[in-house]
Each structure stands twice: as structure tokens, then as C-alpha cells.
Amino acid sequence: VVDATAPSLAALTSSAVECVIVLDRSGSMDTDHRIRHAATAVSLAVRALPAGSRFNVLSFGSHYQALFTQPTVAIDAASLAAL
């Protein structure tokens, strides 16, 4: 369960960071909406990154996969809200 009221990483630091998020996609994630909760947590984590931060998501199940070939610059929360 994700606590949406937790302080954002941006509130803790104003400097850009590089973040790698590891996401479990194994069969056990199919029960109780676990993968949906994990996707929400990833979205919240990326939105909380300070402007200019870079991130990537590595997921694993029977094999591993990176979302991007290299870390990608996160869009700040204001830009995401405008989309």
C-alpha cells in the first residue's frame, strides 16, 4: 500500500538524482491487484523526483527488462499535471 501523504523526494532534496526502480512482475503479482498497486507506486515515485532527475524501471519475472535503454529525465510534477 502506498502512502500518498508521504513527503516527496523533492521536499527532501532540490538536487536532481538518478533513481532505478525495481518492479516484480512474477506470477505472484497477479493476485490481489498487486501489479496495479506496484504501478501506482512507480508513478508516485517518478512524480516525486526533483526536476531534472533521471530514472529507469527494471522489471523482473521469468526474465528481466529495462523500461528504457538508459536512464531518462523525469518530467516535473507541474508538467505532468499539464498533460
The 10s digit of each residue's pLDDT in 23-74 is: 888 888 878 888 888 888 888 888 888 888 898 999 898 999 998 899 888 8
What is each CA distance from 30 to 33, 58, 62, 73, 79, in whole angstroms? Answer: 7, 18, 14, 30, 32
Instruction: Identify the pLDDT of residue 16.
Output: 85
Phi first, then psi: what are they for 13, rounded to 5°? -150, 145
Reference 46, options 24, 71, 26, 65; nearest CA is 71
The residue with cell 538518478 is 18
Name residue 54's beta-bridge partners: 18, 73
**pLDDT for residue 82:** 41
pLDDT at residue 12 above 70? no
C-alpha cell at 21: 526502480
> What local confidence, expressed as pLDDT, does residue 11 receive?
60
Bridge partners (DSSP) listed for residue 21: 57
pTM: 0.67
